[in-house]
Amino acid sequence: MRLLGCVARMTALLALCADAACAQEPPVPKASQPAVQETPKDAVPLALTLKRAIELALQNSKEIQVAKIQASVADRAAQITKAQFMPNLYGGSGAGYTYGIPETPGGRAPSIFSVSYTEQVFNEPLRGQAKETQEQSKAQKIVLEDAKNSVITRTAMAYLELGKVQHSLELLRKEQESAEKILQVTQERQGEGYELPVEVTKAQLTKAQVIQRILQLEGREDELAVFLRYQLGFSESEAIEVTPEELPGEAEQAGDNLVAMAMTHNAGLQLAESDVRAKEFRLKGERRGYLPTVELVSVYSVLAKFNNYTQFFTRFQRNNFNAGIDVHMPIFSAQTKAAIGLAQINLEAAKVNLTNKKTELTADVRQKTRRVRERDAAKEVARLELQLAQQNVAVLQSQFAEGKLNLREVEKVRLEENEKWMAYLDANFQKQQAQIELLKTAGQLDKVWQ
């Protein structure tokens, strides 16, 4: 008994020691905490509206950045030609060997230091070229606006399609559940001898088709998400959450209105009109190439005594200055005639291109307007078919509750309802797609989200 009591006391003592050790055990450091407790920020999807996605795309688009650079390059190019009609001052010096009368290869007296001034006053061919480059610089700004419209179009299309794909995936996963229930019921009925093996195969095929469509849509979802992240300037690991949206009410426009707007705001037509103006400036300048050119010139030079000017001239002057007007009168210029012919042909080609653009644009706007109406009618048909399918589901559910139908029949109509849902989503997206293309053609796309 005494031994048992000692054993009991030792056991109790060991237990107390163990409890004390546990109480004094240091806490688990944060680094060893489960990863679930620290959720990375990029794991939380960033909810975006369509308008916000377009704003981010415009801010981060590489295409727009390139278009801005090209517009700046065109501005600088226009300033180069224009600069010849502004004061230009040059200074310089040099050294060379002369034998005989001291003069430079240009015919001037050798100087230690010289300053020259030039400014074009009247040079119509050069002025025509300057106006042509200025008009081309304005055209690059039109190209920049067209690049912005292209970014808006691609971003809106990807956003709306991603919303449709995600909604379709939800419906397909419900279809998968219904297909599994149908397959299970069919297999049970076959085991009881009420169904043929072909019915089981049909149910298996239906389930396999649903899984195939899910995989296809998941791949498309990933492609659209990657594209949107690139367009919006997000990292690859950042999740994006979109919501199905309808286009603003301003997207609904009358066809006749859009034809008139397109004639004023379409980027392609504006570029064609700008090209005609540029070619007109060039032709006008070349035709005035038979007129004299006038240029302000001035030269100041400091001559050196070691050039032996006194051996050839009776008087030497160290500081020399001259200023005046340099006038050139063309008597016969084959180059001017050829330049006029080239400018005339270029202008005629630009005018023909402008006429074709107007005709094509009118037909394109009307065609896209009809397409929007057709897509709208298709959407209404899909909506009514969906409504009918939903009503059928409600009727069959009541019959199932009364025991008049089995589960398989109910799940079949659920499958049909989901198919009609997906058809409606497709029809709605196709209408939105047609609306965006029409607005872009009419030059009204950027005004919809202002």
Q: Where are the alpha helices (DSSP H) in 240-288?
A: 255-265, 267-287
Query: Rounded to the nearest 5°, which phi and psi values hold at 297?
Result: -135, 150
Handedness of CA 61, 63, 69, 74 (dihedral sign): negative
For residues 252 and 140, the model is more confident at 140
Mean pLDDT value of segment 413-429: 91
pLDDT recorded at residue 320: 78
Other CB atoms within 10 A of residue 262 CB: 24
Q: How many CB atoms lie within 10 A of CB 358?
A: 16
pLDDT tens-digit map of 87-115: 888 888 766 667 667 777 666 777 778 88
| Banded pLDDT at 36 (limits 50, 70, 90) | very low
Integer CA distances (angstroms), 137 to 63, 180, 218, in order: 18, 64, 45
Evaluate if residue 42 carries a pLDDT over 70: no
Whether 366 contacts 259, CB under 8 Å? yes
- Residue 272, pLDDT > 90, answer yes
Q: What tens digit of pLDDT does each residue of 289-348 get?
A: 888 888 888 888 887 777 777 777 777 777 878 888 888 888 888 888 998 999 999 999
Under the phi-then-psi rule, with left for phi > 0, alpha for psi from -120 to 50, and beta for the rest, what region is 443? left
CB distance 145 to 123 below 8 Å = no
Q: Which domains does the chain have, with CATH numbers?
A: 43-86+123-291+330-448 (1.20.1600.10)
Give 3-state DSSP helix, strand, coil % of the chain, rounded to 5. Answer: 70, 10, 20
* 88, β-bridge pairs: 118
Categorize the per-residue pLDDT at 48 as very low, low, confident or very high, splitting at 50, 70 and 90: confident
pLDDT on residue 280? 94
Q: What integer is the mean pLDDT of 124-132?
A: 90
Q: How far apart are CA 184 and CA 408, in angstroms?
A: 9
pTM above 0.85, yes or no: no
For residue 43, what pLDDT band results from cuts at 50, 70 and 90?
low
The predicted pLDDT at position 234 comes to 87
| One-character DSSP codes across 69-114 | HHHHHHHHHHHHHHGGGS-EEEEE-------SS---TTSSPP-SEE
Residue 25 clears pLDDT 50, i.e. is over it: no
Q: Quick one: pLDDT at residue 249?
A: 64
Q: What is the pLDDT of residue 255?
A: 54
Of 157, 178, 141, nearest to 64 by C-alpha is 141
Mean pLDDT of 20-31: 37
Tell me the C-alpha to C-alpha distance, in Å, between residue 208 and each of 169, 182, 205.
15, 13, 5
Mean pLDDT of the chain, nearest integer: 82
Residues in Cβ contact with 173 at an 8 Å cutoff, skipping those fewer than 6 apart: 214
| Residues 257, 260, 264, 267, Cα dihedral to 10° | 80
- pLDDT tens digits for range 350-400: 999 999 999 999 999 999 999 999 999 999 999 999 999 999 888 888 887
